[in-house]
Structure 1
Amino acid sequence: MNDTDHADRTGDVGDTVDLGGTGDTPGAAGTVGGTGGHRPSARRATAGMTGTTGTTGTTTGTTGMSRTAAEDSVQESRAPESAGPAVIVTGGSRGLGRETTLRLAAQGCDLAVCGRDAASLEAVAEEVRARYGRTPHTARLDVLDESALTAFVRESAARLGRVDGLVTVAGGARGTDLRDTEPSDWDLTCRLNVTHPAIALREAADHLAGTGGSAVLVSSVSGWKPAPPAQYAAAKAAQIHMASSLARELGPRGVRVNCVSPGSMLIEGKGWARLRDEDPRGYREFEKEFPGGRLVDPRDVAEVIAFLLSDRARAVNGANVPVDGGQNAPGAYGY
């Protein structure tokens, strides 16, 4: 699965509940992450959520993506540039969300970032400050709290002065197999992956129309290459379809909406990294699901997100862009 942060399974996308975001749940019992896959499990778990908000500062940044130490040192020696495009990122402090935040900061974006964990938010904000000389606006909140999410988007627009882009990374799921799930598991999973991006885009749409901006919704390989749990796969598939529908609705106003579907990502501390450390043989078998023999690097997903937000992608609208390395099965145990 992915590795976001809002599931009872731990995925690997960005920042939500304990759910996971993009690409990283091999099979922790009862949890689901973002995009990637997992092994079936029979035990249910519950996710804890918070709805508190907090803020910190605004942004500034430089250009270029840091992929090597040499590149990093060059970038960090540059003086801050004038205000660049303003982008709002939900779930932007961990996993894929963190890499997306850093990638956008590297190319000079002013940022507003929310997440559930205060320490992770401060850590990514400090990294942006140290490397790029800018301070992102941050808010600690649970994206399932509609009023907190709405307030975050509105306040971010006010602080940044404009909105050129929106990235919804937070995602995940709750519940396991069909017989062990309850209606509330389906409801929470849908609210996290479908309702949260819809609310964020609803609040940002007028601002994006004013700048000719765009939105990128982070879905999952599980949204179009089915694997259990069904509630996660269904929600991610709905997210992909929703992006296409909203692209048609908002296109006449000059707003593009696209989806990115990451494959299973290797993120230290997350599910696939744990599988690698705890079950090396199982991990090597899972690597065979990838023609290139390795899981997805979240930095590569962040590159695609940054591209889709840019004017270079002005002809791309309503698309679902897989960034999965040609991955076959979304889970560690085949279809």
Structure 2
Amino acid sequence: MTGKVAQGMQQVPLKGRFAGRRFVVTGGSRGLGGEVVRLLLADGARVATCARTAESLDGLRRALGAGDELFTEPLDVAEPELLERFVESAAAVLGGLDGVVACAGGARGRGITEATAEDWAMSWALNAGHFARLVASSAPHLRASGGGSIVVVSSISGWKPGPQAQYGASKAAQLHMVPSFARELGPYGIRVNAVSPGSMLIPGKRWDRMRQEDPVAYRNFAAEFPGQELVTPEEVADVIAFLLSDQARGVTGVNLPVDRGQNAPTPQGY
């Protein structure tokens, strides 16, 4: 890939696995997305990322001590026009794109008798819709760079049923898109893959709160993992970085679970 530096950007040492390469990561202000951004920057890349609030992005920049190698913009990825404009801005600032990570996502609503049509529509927009528009808007830039890698963060809920169905269905849609996009974009040197995390232990989030507030329930849930331990964001980020790298140049159209062998995706089982 290119080692050029965009005009007006600070020159950075061409060191590391991703030296001189340019990536877009959606949902990169914290959690798994933040870890992906950190890992890519540490390995020499320049990164553009987005999140819902400017405050969270400012916090990321401070935590990483990042300079011109990190471009950030607050937006909601469920709004296609904003997402597409962000990709165009990122490509212009970075001088092109070599890889993309669709990390933003989520779910709205409760069970089937309570979830509204809006809950279903938003869950779809956050996951399947966001991924599709990100691929569509970034593919021309990847093609112009001679190819690249696209990774979507899906979930084991995409094929292991559990509540709520609107989340699992939208994640399953992502997994269907991956081999389809891989075949369509393969002639241009673009690889497309999915990483499906299991339940991640992220400080301050659901499973970490359960561990602190209800240790018995947490131990029961941890029994769904053969090693009795939940997967970490660092473990998932390492696999994402592998799929973005030249080491995975022969890998496309696949879904790679990173779940420590997790069985049921929720405490409620299948």
How far apart in 2 are the matches of 1:229 and 1:124? 30
CA contact (8 A) 1:91 1:97 kept: yes
Structure 2 residue 69 is matched with structure 1 residue 140 = no
Alignment of 1:242-257 (within 5 A): 242-257=177-192
- Structure 1 residues 253 and 204: alpha-carbon distance in aligned structure 2, compared to 1, 3 A threshold: same
How far apart in 2 are the matches of 1:144 and 1:59? 34
The AA in structure 2 aligned to 1:129 is G
Which is helix-richer, 1 or 2?
A: 2
Match of 1:213 among 145, 148, 163: 148
Match of 1:173 among 69, 87, 107: 107
C-alpha displacement at 1:111, in angstroms?
Answer: 0.4
Tell me the TM-score normalised to structure 2 length.
Answer: 0.92
Alignment of 1:155-304 (within 5 A): 155-211=89-145, 212-304=147-239
How far apart in 2 are the matches of 1:58 and 1:232? 41
Task: Report Cα offsets for 1:69-103 as digits up to 9, x if no partner.
Answer: xxxxxxxxxxxxx9621000000011100011101
- Structure 1 residues 62 and 290: alpha-carbon distance in aligned structure 2, compared to 1, 3 A threshold: farther
C-alpha displacement at 1:117, in angstroms?
Answer: 2.2
CA contact (8 A) 1:59 1:136 kept: no
Task: Report Cα offsets for 1:87-145 as digits up to 9, x if no partner.
Answer: 00000011100011101111111000100122221121233335xx6540000001111
How far apart in 2 are the matches of 1:199 and 1:156? 15
CA contact (8 A) 1:178 1:230 kept: yes
- Structure 1 residues 191 and 119: alpha-carbon distance in aligned structure 2, compared to 1, 3 A threshold: same
Quote the residue 2:259 is aligned against: 324
The AA in structure 1 aligned to 2:174 is Q
C-alpha displacement at 1:61, in angstroms?
Answer: 7.2
Quote the residue 1:97 is aligned against: 33
Structure 2 residue 31 is matched with structure 1 residue 110 = no
Q: What secondary structure is seen at the aligned counterpart in 2 of 1:111?
A: strand
- Structure 1 residues 60 and 181: alpha-carbon distance in aligned structure 2, compared to 1, 3 A threshold: farther
How far apart in 2 are the matches of 1:248 and 1:196? 20
Q: What secondary structure is seen at the aligned counterpart in 2 of 1:258?
A: strand
- Structure 1 residues 221 and 127: alpha-carbon distance in aligned structure 2, compared to 1, 3 A threshold: same
Task: Report Cα offsets for 1:274-325 as digits up to 9, x if no partner.
Answer: 1111100000111111111100110010000000011110111010000000
CA contact (8 A) 1:129 1:135 kept: no
Task: Report Cα offsets for 1:224-279 as digits up to 9, x if no partner.
Answer: 11111111111000101111110011011110010000000001110001111110
Task: Report Cα offsets for 1:138-163 as digits up to 9, x if no partner.
Answer: 00001111111111000000000010
- Structure 1 residues 246 and 172: alpha-carbon distance in aligned structure 2, compared to 1, 3 A threshold: same
How far apart in 2 are the matches of 1:58 and 1:191? 36
RCO greater where, 1 or 2, for CA within 8 Å and sep 6 or more?
1
Identical counterparts, % of pairs: 53
- Structure 1 residues 277 and 59: alpha-carbon distance in aligned structure 2, compared to 1, 3 A threshold: farther
The AA in structure 2 aligned to 1:164 is D
C-alpha displacement at 1:333, in angstroms?
Answer: 2.8
- Structure 1 residues 97 and 255: alpha-carbon distance in aligned structure 2, compared to 1, 3 A threshold: same
The AA in structure 2 aligned to 1:316 is V
Q: What secondary structure is seen at the aligned counterpart in 1 of 2:252?
A: coil
Tell me the TM-score normalised to structure 1 length.
Answer: 0.74
Root mean square deviation of aligned Cα: 1.9
The AA in structure 2 aligned to 1:210 is A
CA contact (8 A) 1:110 1:160 kept: yes
Structure 1 runs (4+) deviating above 6 angstroms are none
Quote the residue 2:21 is aligned against: 85
C-alpha displacement at 1:200, in angstroms?
Answer: 1.1
Structure 1 unaligned blocks of 5 or more: 1-56, 66-81
CA contact (8 A) 1:168 1:218 kept: yes
